[in-house]
């Protein structure tokens, strides 16, 4: 099975994760897909294939070199797709030899992937691009990564003249809801370092990401009959609106890029009596990240000083930290990926992740884990696409990393 056929098979599985679930994996479709993957890994010749009760898959490609000191490395991708868009009944289509024009995804609903809005697609003119029908996401995040890893392992098995050390692969559930590393057994995985195949455009190589936290602000008001409310009512929704306006208006996702952090209001609900605001807090710099969290409490204190004690209650929860702290001491793992990309004709694009990956948390659990491109664009939405040639190149990068590591070992 070639990489395109494999990817198209993978996206037929409904694996949307659910942050409101109390199970792992959070949705049954992920386990269905995991069982399929485990069987496929066995069928191509992988060893020690293990699927645990939480939906985590691990498998081994044994070393085929006489060298005894080649480090064991790993490649990791996630099986779930984002709940931000419909992930069921995906209808992918291949636009062959893309001509550089707008792509009509859905004639009936007049859904068009416009080059003016998504100019990045123009760099793939002449290539074969897999798109959606405009009603669902595609699932290149991160089924492209899985297809690249499985195809690379199959290629190495079928081409034993390419010498390599032991390689471990891991596929995780629930990455999109921040739980992909919850039950990942790093000692069991047994690699010295790994790479997540979870980046976007061809060439991306990332070893730093946001520090991340969630904030829930509960505003406690007081409901009184509006005809007799003077000096008595505390309308929690109006107070919540005041809290929102107190945060820097340009430190939001729609006004930031690169290394700039932000506060992002993700949900608000309310009545006169009680309102809740849900935020995510992001910053690459650890000190600024901590200051952002303190600012949330500082603003709540201001609200409380004006409206009374416990009017605003803040709950903060750290999600993950910037992997740079753990990867910089072992930068040779990044250098190896950089060299592998150049060896297969790719110009590396080293950039910070404006988000997170399983690798961020795994790096803090003792498994340094930079991120490599999977090739897709416009993740989490109906305009998601992936060039076939980008997936092929990513597969070649995996093979080249394994080959270079063996050749550099004593």
Report d(CA 238, CA 222) in Å as an integer: 12
* Helix (H) / strand (E) containing 265: strand 262-270
Number of other residues whose CB lies within 10 A of the CB of residue 269: 11
Residue of 141, 142, 175, 406 marked active site: 175
Nearest to 119 by CA among 378, 352, 375, 393: 378
174 is catalytic: no
The two three-digit tokens of residue 182, written as one number: 């919850």
- Cis peptide bond upstream of 358, omega within 30: no
Sign of the dihedral defined by the CA atoms of residues 349, 350, 351, 355, in that order:
positive
Residue 6 — φ and ψ, nearest 5°? -65, -45
Report d(CA 53, CA 245) in Å as an integer: 46
Are the C-beta atoms of residues 81 and 88 closer than 8 Å to each other?
no
Report d(CA 312, CA 209) in Å as an integer: 30
Nearest to 86 by CA among 144, 48, 133: 133
Report d(CA 220, CA 270) in Å as an integer: 10
Residue of 40, 80, 154, 406 marked active site: 80
Are the C-beta atoms of residues 388 and 148 closer than 8 Å to each other?
no
66 is catalytic: no
Report d(CA 51, CA 31) in Å as an integer: 9
Nearest to 224 by CA among 214, 236, 213: 236
Spell out the long-range contacts of 102-110 with Cβ–Cβ below 8 A and sequence spacing 24 or more. Answer: 103/129, 103/131, 105/131, 105/132, 105/133, 105/134, 105/382, 105/383, 106/133, 106/134, 106/135, 109/134, 109/135
Q: Three-class SS of residue 214?
A: strand
Cite the active site residues: 80, 175
């Amino acid at each position: 099975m070639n990489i395109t056929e494999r990817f198209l098979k993978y996206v037929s599985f409904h694996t949307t994760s659910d942050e409101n679930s109390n199970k792992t994996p959070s949705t049954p479709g992920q386990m269905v897909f995991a069982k399929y993957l485990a069987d496929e890994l066995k069928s191509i010749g992988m060893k020690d294939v293990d699927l645990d009760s939480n939906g985590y898959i691990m498998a081994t490609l044994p070393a085929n070199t006489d060298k005894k000191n080649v480090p064991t490395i790993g490649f990791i991708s996630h099986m779930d797709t984002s709940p931000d868009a419909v992930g069921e009944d995906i209808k992918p289509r291949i636009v062959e030899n893309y001509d550089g024009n707008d792509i009509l995804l859905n004639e009936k609903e007049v859904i068009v992937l416009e080059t003016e809005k998504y100019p990045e697609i123009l760099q793939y003119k002449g290539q074969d691009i897999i798109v959606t029908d405009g009603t669902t996401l595609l699932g290149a995040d991160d089924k492209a990564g899985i297809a690249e890893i499985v195809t690379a392992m199959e290629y190495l098995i079928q081409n034993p003249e390419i010498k390599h050390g032991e390689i471990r692969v891991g596929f995780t559930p629930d990455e999109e809801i921040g739980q992909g590393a919850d039950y990942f057994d790093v000692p069991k995985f047994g690699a010295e370092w790994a790479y997540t195949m979870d980046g976007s455009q061809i060439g991306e190589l990332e070893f730093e990401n946001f520090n991340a936290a969630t904030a829930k602000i509960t505003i406690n008001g007081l409901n009184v009959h509006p005809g007799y409310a003077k000096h008595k009512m505390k309308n929690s929704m109006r107070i919540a609106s005041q809290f929102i306006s107190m945060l820097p208006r340009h430190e939001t996702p729609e006004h930031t890029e690169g290394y700039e952090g932000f506060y992002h209001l993700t949900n608000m609900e309310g009545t006169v009596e009680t309102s809740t605001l849900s935020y995510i807090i992001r910053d690459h710099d650890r000190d600024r990240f901590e200051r952002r969290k303190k600012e949330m409490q500082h603003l709540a204190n201001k609200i409380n000083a004006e409206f009374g004690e416990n009017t605003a209650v803040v709950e903060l929860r750290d999600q993950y930290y910037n992997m740079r702290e753990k990867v910089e001491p072992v930068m040779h793992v990044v250098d190896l990926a950089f060299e592998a990309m150049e060896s297969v004709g790719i110009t590396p694009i080293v950039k910070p992740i404006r988000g997170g990956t399983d690798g961020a948390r795994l790096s803090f659990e003792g498994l340094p884990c930079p991120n490599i491109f999977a090739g897709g664009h416009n993740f989490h939405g109906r305009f998601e696409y992936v060039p076939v040639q980008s997936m092929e190149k990513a597969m070649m990068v995996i093979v080249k990393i394994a080959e270079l590591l063996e050749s550099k070992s004593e």
